Chains A and B, each alone.
Chain A
Amino acid sequence: MSLHDQDDPALRAAQEERLRAVWKPPQGLFLRWTDTNNNRVGVWYVLTAFGFMLFAGVLALIMRTQLAVPDNELVSANSFNQLFTLHGSMMMFLFAVPMFEAVSIILLPQLLGARDLPFPRLSAFGYWSFLIGGVFVSGSIFFNAAPDGGWFMYPPLTTRTDLSGLGADIWMLGLSFIEVSSVAAAVELIVGVLKCRPPGMRLNLMPLYAWYILVVAVMILFAFPPLIAGDILFEMERLLDWSFFDANRGGDPLLWQHLFWIFGHPEVYIIFLPSIALFAMLVPTFANRHLLGYPWIVLAAVGTAFLSFGLWVHHMFTTGLPKISLAFFSAASEAVAIPTGVQIFVFIATLWAGRVTWSTPLLYATGSLAIFVIGGLTGVMVAVAPFDWQAHDSYFIVAHLHYVLIGGTLMPLFAGLYYYWPLITGKKLSDRLGRVAFWMLFAGANLTFFPMHLSGLMGMPRRVFTYPAELGLGGLNLLSTAGAYLFAAGVAVICVDLCLSPRRSKAQRNPWNAGTLEWLAHPDDEDWGIRSVPLIESRYPIWDQPDFVRKVDEGRFFLPDAEEGRRETIVTTALDARPLAVIRLGTPSVKPMLTAIALGGVFIFTTYHLYWAALVCGVATLACTLWWLWTGTAEIPEKPCKPVGHGIELPLYLSGPAAPGWWAMFITMMADATAFSGLVFGYFFFWTRHADFPPADMANGPGMMWPMIALIAGLVGWLATIAARNIHARGGVARARVLLACGIVLSIAGAGAGLAGPWMSGLDPQVHSYPAIVWTLAIWTSAHAGVAAIMQSYALARSLAGKMDPHHDADLRNVSVYMHFYALTAIVTYATIGLFPEVA
């Protein structure tokens, strides 16, 4: 259809009618919860994370009340330990990270002019997992069963079942479940940013928020898996008494600290960078000019991400490290201040160069920066190892981290709330209430946390449920408590403002007069997202591209229609956003929710040692997943191509590296490989800790024969699958099926042989860390072989069912990606457990 056609109002009305029908949300008391539209799932996600934040905040208020005066007996030691463990864990896992993902799910399609994210059902799955896991973890405090080992869960306190109860399992399994959903969301966001940009939006025209989403999601991908690996070892020790952290049986508590902080430090930047991203969106708006130094800020974000993976050891400065490690990690920790400085000065320079319109969101941003700078500077102080030896685990650190997190996460989110509320609801929040709340929050935060610097230096350790009056810390603590209540009152004012919002009238469109794509949103928005997918030529298209809003609204760009009655969005190339295809998106479905419930069952039943129920849920999870994939993915379209406007025809099917599904598989497997390297790190960490590893009485380990058989089976199975893919693409469907069948047999054989090694050599994982880690690697790899067999069977079944042919082979190509990673895993595992003992 040409530009000319869109001049006809009747045609436009008909298009809008079709779009409206296609994007109509499901109705009904239950069915409405099966929605997958990012607008709604994102809002549920935000509200849930906000609710968890309020809950965790109340926990903090109870703590501050207990600590208001010395020797207080309001809360018992037992309750207090649950309070601070849950406060930290919830703020990290149930608020900060999910909130970033939730906001991104809402904003990303709008920032990119897409109709929705590439995998709407995956977002819904992530949300339901988050809700179930979050309620499970946070609800435990009402049964006096909340985790009580600190959010860092250091063994042996937490792994010894005589010293810690069910709470530790709830933490490990409940939060592992949430980590899975976080990784799922990260996959969704990365693919969204890379593949669903509008035509013309090259990487260097991308809105900065999208850049930050990309950086942060990649960080999640590499930061969470080591923790998942740690969780696995942790639960193996707790549930099966395998030895990983028990020094009496060859384990080492420090292994957990390494795995935890390899996650834990990037985590800080995972929750801080999105806030910088919000600033990067609102500062240009209120400075009324382009952001100055776009390439600088992008490089700074990427640099921060890189550095953040190299400084986890600064959380371990007091564990007795050699001087060389101290110097290296001190330097790395200080260095991360440099890209942060660049980002902050980009904002200052932009405001300086522009004409500043003062507003409530900018007020919040300013306050956040002030608080964050103080937190950043105390961060430089504690990066200096000798100072950290005094400050570590004292209230100085409590002060530091809250300055960083309030200035770097919470207050920026409030800035974002006041900025983006009109985008989501069509209404502005009250400037007056916003300002009142701001000053309460700002004063409250400083009053609470500034005195803590002093109480820490005056010798008050963290995580104490009480302190003696003789230490003279009563006054400072009373100030902190008063500040905490003031802060809470500020949050309450914001809540009131939010509650009043439905009674207010609609604001005008683009009320801040911003220049970026998301402000195309109309107060009376339709569910279809964007009317037509625009051609982008500028970083600030609303400001720079003539007649831009009208052209989008009148459907003069791409994909203005839904002729076939399908939800669709445009896929472009990753670097320069050339249009590649139109993909059909998932529609509302109950499958994601059912899968999340089944997977939740696996984790929750395991917590209570109900292994049969957990197994049933595991099978149900697999069944739901296959059902979801079988009915909703890689569907062969009714026609090969469709016109999207301006005389362009785009294909309706993609496979291989051009397809979002292939990227999702590749990215997921990167996370999987990272978790695996966490386990391999464990093996070599133990090796460095022991003069004899394997120990003399099991010097042969699992032997060489079985690991080599497993390796050969894995590699041949991999080659068979790759051959099947290539032959299939050339039309050899029957031969490809035979090869896939061989691959299935080989994968099953590899799984069996992998376990046979440690089994036949009688390695007992309860006696020493060596057999324990060997078993873990073998089980990990065999489980991957099992999944390989399932995937190969799936591809075979798709072929037999006529859902896959040589021109539509996305399934087989995705399975091949998995097989590459499986082969890599097998090589590393079997070389480590089978060959390494020979050379070590």
Chain B
Amino acid sequence: MRNPWFWLLVLAGLTACNAEQSTLHVFGAEARAVRQMALLLTIGAAVIVTIMTVLYVRAVRAPEGKLSHDRGMRMVLWMGAIGPTLILTALLIYALPAMRPRATAPGDLVVRVDGEQFWWRVAYDPAGDLSPLLSANEVRIPVGRTVVFELTARDVIHSFWIPGLAGKMDMIPGRTNRLVVQAEKSGRYRGVCAEFCGLSHALMAFDVIAMDATDFDAWLRRSRAASAGAIASRGETLFDAHGCGGCHAIRGTSHDARIGPDLSRFGERRTMGAGIMPPTSANIASFIRAPQDAKPGARMPAFPQISAADAQAIAQYLKGLK
């Protein structure tokens, strides 16, 4: 137990499980560069801490007069002033190129993401004259291609952060910020809101799916079509009857409201409620009846008047939208 390596191993064990939302498990070029930089900075910091500790211990132990006034002043000059200046200048020169955003070309995929309390409005805007494809709380990007995120916010400031892909970028009402990235590895990841945005800030995440470019193109084409699903099911009738379409859109149906999250192809999604839980029928049903239980401050009104069985039916309908 005295061995420091023991604790380091414990620490490593504690950290091993998260590969979806970590700056240390990268899948994007930008995050890879920063991870590299973080490693270098950490090593540098550790070296400096060691040197300072050794110097301090020697300073305390040194007998009186061991260091003359002039040598002491030289030490302050070289180690306190000139040394840090050189190191920091080198660091700045090293870091400057990384501040330049990735170059973009006119044909690059633009994904517009709009933060709202407490979910994400997503629109894919590929080059050409296709109309944008709307979605919510899930971002899909092609591997190996440059992707431009255009980030805005409607109500308050949010921040768009996919730790494995790139650094974060704030979403500020009245401004449009751009974040240019390139994924290097396909897989399922997670992003979160990083700027405190109110009651359920902690419950504002989203799924990120990096796909092979050809798969992505196919998915984008396929998604433009109407959601296949249990059309004319009991759940659909209830969805209609309770006015869910007053806020939510489902492509291929008459529901095209833009107030709440777009539910097209909801059945394809891995999570619900902006990345906070798996979309099981039970979760969907209870969210419909009391959204604030799962998500304090959520804008969706509660529907306690919908019976549990009816809510289950709506859940079944939504899960069938693929």
**A45-86, CB < 8 A from B:** 76-78, 81
CB-CB under 8 A for A253 and B69, given A157-B156, A459-B163, A475-B14: no
- A475 proximity list for chain B (CB < 8 A): 10, 13-15
Beta-carbon contact of A334 and B88 below 8 Å: yes
Beta-carbon contact of B37 and A386 below 8 Å: yes
CB-CB under 8 A for A341 and B80, given A163-B155, A247-B173, A331-B92: yes
- B174 proximity list for chain A (CB < 8 A): 247-248, 251-253
Beta-carbon contact of A380 and B60 below 8 Å: no
Asked if A677 is an interface residue, CB under 8 A from chain B, the answer is no
Q: Which of A150, A247, A319, A366 interacts with B170 by CB under 8 Å?
A: A319
- Provide the bound-state CA to CA distance between A394 and B191, in Å: 13
Asked if A335 is an interface residue, CB under 8 A from chain B, the answer is yes
Asked if A504 is an interface residue, CB under 8 A from chain B, the answer is no
Q: Which of B45, B72, B172, B196 interacts with A150 by CB under 8 Å?
A: B196
Beta-carbon contact of B169 and A320 below 8 Å: yes
- Provide the bound-state CA to CA distance between A350 and B76, in Å: 10
- Provide the bound-state CA to CA distance between A393 and B157, in Å: 13
Beta-carbon contact of A318 and B85 below 8 Å: no
Asked if A323 is an interface residue, CB under 8 A from chain B, the answer is yes
Query: Quick one: closest B residue to A689, CB to CB?
Result: B174
**Complex interface: stretch among B135-143, B197-205, B231-239, B305-313:** B197-205
**B1-31, CB < 8 A from A:** 10-11, 13-18, 20-24, 31
CB-CB under 8 A for A468 and B276, given A154-B157, A160-B156: yes
Query: Quick one: closest B residue to A324, CB to CB?
Result: B99
Beta-carbon contact of A344 and B80 below 8 Å: yes
Beta-carbon contact of B84 and A337 below 8 Å: yes
Q: Mark B252-270, 1 if CB is under 8 A from A, else 0.
A: 0000000000000000000
Beta-carbon contact of B15 and A378 below 8 Å: no
Asked if A348 is an interface residue, CB under 8 A from chain B, the answer is yes
**B51-110, CB < 8 A from A:** 52-53, 55-56, 58-69, 72-73, 75-76, 79-81, 83-85, 88, 91-92, 95-96, 98-101
- B72 proximity list for chain A (CB < 8 A): 292-293, 349-350, 352-353
Query: Quick one: closest B residue to A251, CB to CB?
Result: B174
CB-CB under 8 A for A392 and B168, given A338-B84, A348-B55, A377-B48: yes
- Counting chain A CB atoms within 10 Å of each CB, the highest count among B56, B68, B76 belongs to B76
CB-CB under 8 A for A338 and B60, given A320-B178, A349-B75: no
Tell me the interface secondary structure of chain A in the complex: helix
- Provide the bound-state CA to CA distance between A334 and B297, in Å: 40
Asked if A345 is an interface residue, CB under 8 A from chain B, the answer is yes
- A326 proximity list for chain B (CB < 8 A): 99
Beta-carbon contact of A157 and B95 below 8 Å: no
Beta-carbon contact of A349 and B76 below 8 Å: yes
- A451 proximity list for chain B (CB < 8 A): 11
- Provide the bound-state CA to CA distance between A751 and B16, in Å: 67
CB-CB under 8 A for A327 and B99, given A342-B81, A463-B196: yes
Asked if B161 is an interface residue, CB under 8 A from chain A, the answer is yes
Q: Which of A331, A352, A466 interacts with B202 by CB under 8 Å?
A: A466
- Provide the bound-state CA to CA distance between A454 and B12, in Å: 10
- B67 proximity list for chain A (CB < 8 A): 349, 352-353
Beta-carbon contact of B56 and A348 below 8 Å: yes
Beta-carbon contact of B41 and A381 below 8 Å: yes
- Provide the bound-state CA to CA distance between A79 and B235, in Å: 37
Asked if B220 is an interface residue, CB under 8 A from chain A, the answer is no
Q: Mark A346-359, 1 if CB is under 8 A from B, else 0.
A: 10111111111010
Asked if B193 is an interface residue, CB under 8 A from chain A, the answer is yes
Asked if B302 is an interface residue, CB under 8 A from chain A, the answer is no
Query: Quick one: closest B residue to A290, CB to CB?
Result: B69
- Provide the bound-state CA to CA distance between A296 and B69, in Å: 13
- A374 proximity list for chain B (CB < 8 A): 45, 49
CB-CB under 8 A for A458 and B166, given A337-B84, A338-B81, A345-B79: no
Asked if A389 is an interface residue, CB under 8 A from chain B, the answer is yes
Beta-carbon contact of A459 and B169 below 8 Å: no
> A471 CB to closest chain B CB, in angstroms?
5
> A474 CB to closest chain B CB, in angstroms?
8
CB-CB under 8 A for A373 and B52, given A292-B73, A338-B88, A350-B72: yes
Beta-carbon contact of A377 and B45 below 8 Å: yes
What are 26 A-B contacts defined by CB distance under 8 Å? A154-B195, A163-B117, A163-B156, A247-B172, A248-B173, A253-B172, A296-B76, A318-B159, A318-B194, A320-B175, A320-B177, A323-B101, A334-B88, A334-B92, A337-B84, A353-B62, A354-B64, A356-B62, A386-B98, A389-B169, A390-B163, A393-B194, A458-B24, A470-B18, A470-B20, A472-B18
9 new A-B contacts at CB < 8 Å, known A342-B76, A470-B17: A253-B173, A381-B41, A381-B45, A386-B33, A393-B168, A393-B195, A451-B11, A467-B202, A471-B20
By a beta-carbon cutoff of 8 Å, the part of chain B in contact with chain A is 10-11, 13-18, 20-24, 31, 33-34, 37-38, 41-42, 44-45, 48-49, 52-53, 55-56, 58-69, 72-73, 75-76, 79-81, 83-85, 88, 91-92, 95-96, 98-101, 117, 155-157, 159, 161, 163-164, 166-170, 172-175, 177-178, 190, 192-203, 276, 296-297
